[in-house]
Structure 1
Amino acid sequence: VLTDDEKELGICLVDIGGGTTDVAVFTDGAIKHTAVIPIAGDQVTNDIAVAMRTPTQYAEEIKIKYACALRQLANPDDTIEVPSVGDRDPRRLSRQTLAEVVEPRYEELLTLVHAELRRSGFEDLVAAGVVLTGGSSKMEGVVDLAEEVFHMPVRLGLPQHITGLVDVVRNPIHATGVGLLLFGHKNQQMGEATLFNESGMGSAFKRMRNWFQGSF
């Protein structure tokens, strides 16, 4: 998801997953700092479930389909149906109300990442800005909110250097999987087959390859 120019100039990669957010800082073409933040998409889902009094599976669906991380981008006239707990009737709530639940959690997460970047001592060296990736980075408004928090350019990172099923695989949610596949392919081309023998990393690579073949 990163270009060689970005890694050389200085970039902060933020991978927002389900359970954790992974941070990696690159400068001079190499990784210089990593960190893990224990806040990610699952916490956002839980916030929606609690605030809107809806079961977790519906909260996850609402997050994916309708959530916005910046309330001013959400149209207050847009409404969504929210299933209730038990036998209660579903309710209709505005999309802006949903954004008011989601935005504080994303702001907290991005503020923690910014604090970690400052603590690392590399904040002034990431001239290329920030790249967001991972399934929980896809939400509308996340890039805009991140630019407000970091005060630097932010873009959404998509897997690069892939062919076939590009529309399916070029998605932040597949960034880690595609990265592992490209890493394995590159090392096989370089003759480093020992990294990918039948045990350890080799079996992990084969499982990842088989998952992609089975899924797509």
Structure 2
Amino acid sequence: KDLYTCLEKTGVGVMDFVLEPLASAHSVLDENERKLGVILVDIGGGTTDIIVYHDGGVLHAGTVPIGGSNITYDIAYGVQTTLENAEQLKCQYGSAKSALADPEENINITGTNGRESKIISSKQLADIIEPRMDEIFRLVKNEIRKSDFIGDFTFGIVLTGGGANLQHITDLSQEIFQQPIKIGQPQLTGGVSEKVNNPRYSTGVGLINYGTENWEELEYDNPNNINSILKRSISKMGNLLKNWY
């Protein structure tokens, strides 16, 4: 209610409120996945969201209070660099599985505040990342158990969100979950835009899809302008969100 009031005061009309993992599901899951059984794991910056589908409905939804930002902090502490540099290292070289990272690939770490630069290997970077990803996945596994479903999920687990871009993340997740794993790429209603064809944009694209699919029901003022509004939304989202992860 407070968020709604604040937005209304700024002149921003609120169409609806959508749970974050539900929004992501609107962009990465299809009808068959939701009907026959699938688990969506959205690895965001501050949290990791889980939603369990079975028989076309939501069986369970939950959140783990750890995400990609925790990995960034771990890297910053581990190699003594800034958070900005740590984020770049994670995105460019990060691997979730130390045994699969290249021990011969050297990474230059720029010194900060008078400290000397240093060189580490991709494997050393993965040694920092893997324990945190392992923790996240095991917490997710505990959350999934709360669904109390004892059967099989036909389509296994779909990973999305910015954290899903880590190298070898499917290898680590398969070890822990013992389920089929795939990376969920957002699909925009009406066609895929290259600007948002990345797991980090799943929630944003899902919100656009939700608005498109429920346009008449939500009684938006100007339905004739939907295409131009969507194009502007996609462009702005691509420019703004690319620096968030």
User: TM-score w.r.t. structure 2 length?
Assistant: 0.78
RMSD, aligned CA: 2.1
Distance 1:123 1:151 in 2: 14
Shift, 1:65, TM fit:
0.5
1:94 aligns with 2:121: yes
Q: Which amino acid aligns with 1:213?
A: S
The SS at the match of 2:186 is: coil
Shift, 1:144, TM fit:
1.1
Q: Does the 8 Å CA contact 1:27/1:125 hold for their aligned counterparts?
A: no
Q: Cα deviation per residue 1:75-133 (whole Å; 9 max; x = unaligned)? A: 10001011223112210101100000000000000011011111321253422100000
Q: Does the 8 Å CA contact 2:196/2:234 hold for their aligned counterparts?
A: no
Distance 1:164 1:153 in 2: 27
Distance 2:150 2:38 in 1: 9
Q: Cα deviation per residue 1:23-55 (whole Å; 9 max; x = unaligned)? A: 000000111110010010000000000111111
Find the counterpart in structure 1 of residue 33 from structure 2.
6
Which of the residues 151, 157, 175 maps onto 2:178? 151
Q: Does the 8 Å CA contact 1:146/1:154 hold for their aligned counterparts?
A: yes
Q: Does the 8 Å CA contact 2:109/2:119 hold for their aligned counterparts?
A: yes
1:212 aligns with 2:234: yes
Find the counterpart in structure 2 of residue 168 from structure 1.
195
Q: Does the 8 Å CA contact 1:177/1:208 hold for their aligned counterparts?
A: no
Which of the residues 85, 89, 93 maps onto 1:62? 89
Q: Does the 8 Å CA contact 2:188/2:205 hold for their aligned counterparts?
A: no
1:19 aligns with 2:41: no
Find the counterpart in structure 1 of residue 107 from structure 2.
80
Q: Which amino acid aligns with 1:157?
A: G
1:142 aligns with 2:169: yes
* Segment of structure 1 superposing worse, 174-183 or 115-124: 115-124
Shift, 1:165, TM fit:
6.1
Distance 1:88 1:13, change over 3 A: same
Find the counterpart in structure 2 of residue 192 from structure 1.
217
Distance 1:117 1:164 in 2: 32
Q: Which amino acid aligns with 2:211?
A: G
Q: Does the 8 Å CA contact 1:117/1:123 hold for their aligned counterparts?
A: no
For structure 1, the 5+ residue unaligned runs are 199-205
Find the counterpart in structure 1 of residue 131 from structure 2.
104
Distance 1:103 1:123 in 2: 29
The SS at the match of 1:140 is: coil
Distance 1:75 1:123, change over 3 A: farther
Find the counterpart in structure 2 of residue 201 from structure 1.
none
The SS at the match of 1:152 is: coil
Distance 1:82 1:123 in 2: 47
Distance 2:31 2:133 in 1: 28
For structure 2, the 5+ residue unaligned runs are 1-27, 223-227, 240-245
Shift, 1:3, TM fit:
1.8
Distance 1:143 1:173, change over 3 A: same
Q: Cα deviation per residue 1:151-171 (whole Å; 9 max; x = unaligned)? A: 010100011254566332221
